[in-house]
Amino acid sequence: MTLSNVDTEGLRSTSRKQEFGVAPTEHILDEFPLTSAYDVAIIGAGPNGLMAAAYLVKAGLKTIVLERRQEIGGGLATEETLFPGYYTNPHAFYHMMTDYMPIMSDFALNSHGLFFVKPNTQTAGIFSDNSSLILYNQIEDTKDSIAKFSASDARTFGKLMRKWRKIVSEVIAPGTYVPPISPIDMIETFEKTEIGREVLRLSEMSPAEIIDENFESDRVKALLLYVACMWGLDPNESGLGFMVPLMVDRAMNKAQCYGGSHKLAGALSREILSEGGTILDNAEVTEILVDSGRVTGIQLFDGRQIEARAVLSSLAPPLTFGRLIEQEDVPPEMIESASLWEWDKWSFATMSLVSQEPPVYECDDPSVNDALMVVMGFDSLDQVLDHFSAVIAGKLPESIGGHATVETRYDPTLPRIQGHQVSFFQVHAPYEVQGGWDEQGPVLVDNLITLWKRHCSGLVDSNIVMNSLETPIDIETRLSSMVRGSIKHGDYHPLQMGIFRPHDSCVGGRSPIEGLYLCGASSYPGGLVIGGPGYIAAGSVAEDLGAGKWWKEPEYVRRYVSTYMQTIG
Amino acid sequence: MSDERFDVVVIGGGHNGSTIAAYLAKSGLSTCVLESRPECGGGQENTEVRPGFRIDPHATYLYGGAAPGFDQLELWKYGMRMVYYASMAGVATLDGQAANLGGRWRPDLGDEAIKRHSPADLQGPGRIFDQLGEDASRQLLRALFWTPPHPQGLEVNPEDMPWWQVFRKYLPNLYFKELIDMSYVDFLDNFVQWDPLKVVGAFGAWYCGAHPDWEGMLLQSLGGTLLYSYASGAPRGGMHTYAHAIIRCAIANGARVMTNAPVGEIIVSNGRAVGVKLSQDAAFPEKTIWADKAVISGVDVKQTFLGLVGKSHIDPSFAQRVDDISLKGGSLFVMSVICRELPRYHNDDRYFPQEVYPSCVIAPADSFEYFRVQTRDAYSYKKSPELTPEHLTMMICTHDPYDSTRCPDGYHVLSPIYLEVPPPQYDVTGPLGINRHKEEITKAALGVLKQLAPNMTDGNIVDVFVNTPYDSEFRNAGMVGGNWYGIRQSEDQWFSNRPLPELSRYRTPIDGLYLCNQTSHPGGLCLMAVPYNLMHVLIDDGVVTPKSWWYPSPFYVSDPKPGTSNIKTPTDIGGTSISSVDSQALAASEEIR
Ligand SMILES: Cc1cc2nc3c(=O)[nH]c(=O)nc-3n(C[C@H](O)[C@H](O)[C@H](O)COP(=O)(O)OP(=O)(O)OC[C@H]3O[C@@H](n4cnc5c(N)ncnc54)[C@H](O)[C@@H]3O)c2cc1C
Ligand SMILES: Cc1cc2nc3c(=O)[nH]c(=O)nc-3n(C[C@H](O)[C@H](O)[C@H](O)COP(=O)(O)OP(=O)(O)OC[C@H]3O[C@@H](n4cnc5c(N)ncnc54)[C@H](O)[C@@H]3O)c2cc1C
pLDDT digits (tens, 9 = 90+) for B228-242: 999 999 999 999 999
- Print burial letters for A376-407: b (CB count within 10 Å at least 16), e (below 16): bbbbebebbbbbbebbbeeebbeebbbbbbbb
CA distances from B61 to B57, B103, B142, B247 (A): 12, 13, 18, 19
Q: Among A99-113, B201-215, B395-409, B450-464, whose mean pLDDT is lowest?
A: B201-215
**For residue B383, what pLDDT is reported?**
62
Q: In the beta sheet, which residues pair with residue B273?
A: B268
Residue B154 to residue B161: CA distance in whole angstroms: 11
Dump pLDDT digits (tens) for A368-395. 999 999 999 999 999 999 999 999 999 9
Chain A contact present for B579, CB below 8 A: no
What pLDDT is stored for residue A509 in this prediction? 98
* Interatomic CA distance for residues B475 and B426, integer angstroms: 19
Question: How many Cβ atoms sit within 10 Å of the Cβ of residue A170?
Answer: 19
Q: How confident is the model at residue B569 (pLDDT cuts 50, 70, 90)?
A: very low
Best mutation site among A43, A91, A351, A488 for ligand 1 pocket (most ligand atoms within 8 Å of CB): A91
Q: How confident is the model at residue B584 (pLDDT cuts 50, 70, 90)?
A: very low
- Beta-carbon contacts of residue B391 (< 8 Å; ≥ 6 apart): B370, B373, B374, B377, B385
Nearest 5°: the CA angle B399, B241, A257 is 125
pLDDT tens digits, B506-524 = 999 999 999 999 999 999 9
**Residue among A152, A128, A147, A151 at smallest CA distance from A136:** A147
Q: Name which of A11, A12, A15, A28 to mutate to probe chain B: the one with the most chain B Cβ atoms within 10 A of its Cβ.
A: A28
Cα atoms in the 13 Å half-sphere on the side-chain side of B555: 27
Please report residues of B whose CB lies closer than 8 A to that of A281.
Answer: 79, 237, 241, 244
As a whole number of angstroms, the distance between CA A67 and CA A46 comes to: 8
Residues 6+ apart with CB under 8 A from A552: none
Cα(B33)–Cα(B10) distance, integer angstroms: 5
Name the nearest CA neighbour of B584 among B16, B576, A151, A160. B576
Instruction: With beta carbons less than 8 A apart as the criterion, state whether B355 and B437 touch.
Output: no
H or E segment and range at residue A274? helix A262-274
d(CA B227, CA B103): 11
Please compute the mean of the pLDDT values over residues A57-73 and round it to a whole number: 97
> Where does residue B152 fall: left (phi above 0), alpha (psi -120 to 50 degrees), or beta otherwise?
beta
List the single range of A11-25, B52-66, B157-171, B445-459 with lowest mean pLDDT.
Answer: A11-25
pLDDT of B173 reads: 87
Q: Do A70 and B240 touch (CB under 8 A)?
A: yes
Q: Is B252 on the interface with A (CB under 8 A)?
A: yes
Listed ranges A29-33, A156-160, B223-227; the one with the highest mean pLDDT: A156-160
User: Using 50, 70 and 90 to split pLDDT, how confident is the model at B570?
Assistant: very low
Residues with Cβ within 8 Å of A439's Cβ and at least 6 positions away in sequence, in order, are none
Burial (Cβ within 10 Å: 0-12, 13-18, ≥19) of residue B453 = buried
A interface mutation test: which of B405, B464, B583, B589 has the most A CBs within 10 A?
A: B405
Question: If you compute the radius of gyration of chain A from its CA atoms, what whole number of angstroms results?
Answer: 24
Q: Which residues of B266-302 are buried (b: 16+ CB within 10 A; e: fewer)?
A: bbbeeeebbbbbbbeebbbeebbbbbebbbbbbbbbb
Task: List pLDDT tens digits, range B366-408.
Answer: 999 888 888 877 776 566 677 888 889 999 999 999 999 999 9
Residue A449: is its pLDDT beyond 90? yes
- Structure confidence at residue B328 (pLDDT): 80
Name the E strands within B364-431. 394-398, 412-421
Please give the average per-residue pLDDT across A401-419, as a whole number: 92
Mean per-residue pLDDT over chain B, rounded: 90
Residue pair B26/B253 in contact by the 8 Å Cβ criterion: yes
**Which of left, alpha, beta for B175 (phi over 0: left; psi -120 to 50: alpha)?**
beta
Does B463 contact chain A (CB < 8 Å)?
Answer: no
* Residues in contact with A115: Cβ distance below 8 Å, sequence separation at least 6, in sequence order: A257, A258, B283
Contacts of residue B471 in chain A, CB cutoff 8 Å?
84-85, 416
CA neighbours closer than 13 Å in the CB half-sphere of residue A387: 29
Does residue B500 sit in helix, strand or coil?
Answer: coil
pLDDT value at position B587? Answer: 46
Top-confidence residue, A13 or B399: B399
CA dihedral B559, B561, B562, B567 (to 10 degrees): -60
Question: What does the alpha-carbon distance between residue A171 and residue A559 come to, in Å, rounded to a whole number?
Answer: 9
pLDDT at B581: 39
Burial of B2 (0-12, 13-18, 19+ CB in 10 A): exposed
Query: Helix-strand-coil percent breakdown of chain A, rounded to 5?
Result: 40, 20, 45
Q: What number is the average pLDDT over the span A24-35?
A: 90
Query: What average pLDDT score do residues B410-428 get?
Result: 89
Is A359's pLDDT higher than 80? yes
Among the listed residues A482, A355, A373, the one whose alpha carbon sits nearest the alpha carbon of residue A420: A355
* Chain B residues 253-312 with CB within 8 Å of chain A: 254, 256-261, 281-284
> What is the per-residue pLDDT across B88-131, written as a single tens digit (0 to 9) for each?
999 999 999 999 999 999 999 999 999 999 999 987 777 777 77
* B465/A259 touch (CB, cutoff 8 Å), yes or no: no
Under 8 Å CB-to-CB from B373, ≥6 apart: which residues? B390, B391
pTM for the model: 0.95
The whole-number pLDDT of residue A25 equals 85
Helix or strand or coil: residue B107?
Answer: helix
What is the rounded average pLDDT of the residues B140-163? 95
In angstroms, the CA B150 to CA B497 distance is: 10
Q: Is the CB of A424 under 6 A from ligand 1?
A: no
* Position with higher pLDDT, B364 vs B329: B364
- The answer to whether residue B210 scores a pLDDT higher than 80 is no
Tell me what pLDDT residue A35 has. Answer: 94
Model confidence at B480, pLDDT cuts 50, 70, 90, reads low
pLDDT at B571: 43
Residues B251, A413: C-beta atoms closer than 8 Å? no
**pLDDT per residue over A199-231, tens digit each?**
999 999 999 999 999 999 999 999 999 999 999
B386 contacts: CB under 8 Å, gap ≥ 6: B374, B377
pLDDT of residue B429: 82
Q: What confidence score (pLDDT) does residue B582 get?
A: 45
Q: What digits encode the pLDDT tens for the residues A486-520?
A: 999 999 999 999 999 999 999 999 999 999 999 99
Predicted pLDDT at B573: 44
Tell which phi-psi region holds residue B508, choosing left (phi > 0), alpha (psi between -120 and 50) or beta.
beta
User: pLDDT tens digits, residue range A522-560?
Assistant: 999 999 999 999 999 999 999 999 999 999 999 999 999
For residue range B30-48, list pLDDT tens digits in order.
Answer: 999 999 999 999 989 999 9
The pLDDT value given to residue B430:
80
Residue B129: CA atoms inside 13 Å, Cβ hemisphere, count?
Answer: 23
Q: Is the pLDDT of residue B209 over 80?
A: no
Average pLDDT for residues A237-263, to the nearest whole number? 97
Candidates B5, B9, B258, B400: best to mutate against A (most CBs of A within 10 A) is B258
Q: Using alpha carbons only, how large is chain B's radius of gyration in Å?
A: 23
φ and ψ at A424, to 5 degrees?
-145, 155
* Res. B565 pLDDT band, cuts 50 70 90: low
Distance between CA atoms of B248 and A42, rounded to whole angstroms? 18
Q: Would you call B440 helix, strand, or coil by DSSP? A: helix
Tell me: pLDDT of A5 over 60. no
Higher pLDDT: B485 or A170? It is A170
Helix (H, G, I), strand (E, B) or coil at A514: strand
What mean pLDDT comes out for the span B305-334?
A: 91
Q: What is the 3-state secondary structure (H, E, C) of A41-93?
A: EEECCCHHHHHHHHHHHHCCCCEEEECCCCCCCCCCCCEEEECCCEEECCCCC
Question: Measured between beta carbons, which residues in chain B are less than 8 angstroms from residue A27?
Answer: 70-71
The bound ligand whose nearest atom lies closest to the alpha carbon of A68 is 1
Q: What is the mean pLDDT of residues B17-26?
A: 98
Which pLDDT score is estimated for A416? 80
For residue B261, which atom of ligand 2 is closest to its CA? 43
**Domains of chain A, with CATH numbers?**
1-31 (no CATH), 32-76+261-339+492-564 (3.50.50.60)
Nearest-5° Cα angle at A222, A218 to A223: 125
C-alpha closest to that of A522 among A511, A512, A513, A514? A511
pLDDT number for residue A212? 97
Return the pLDDT at B476. 62
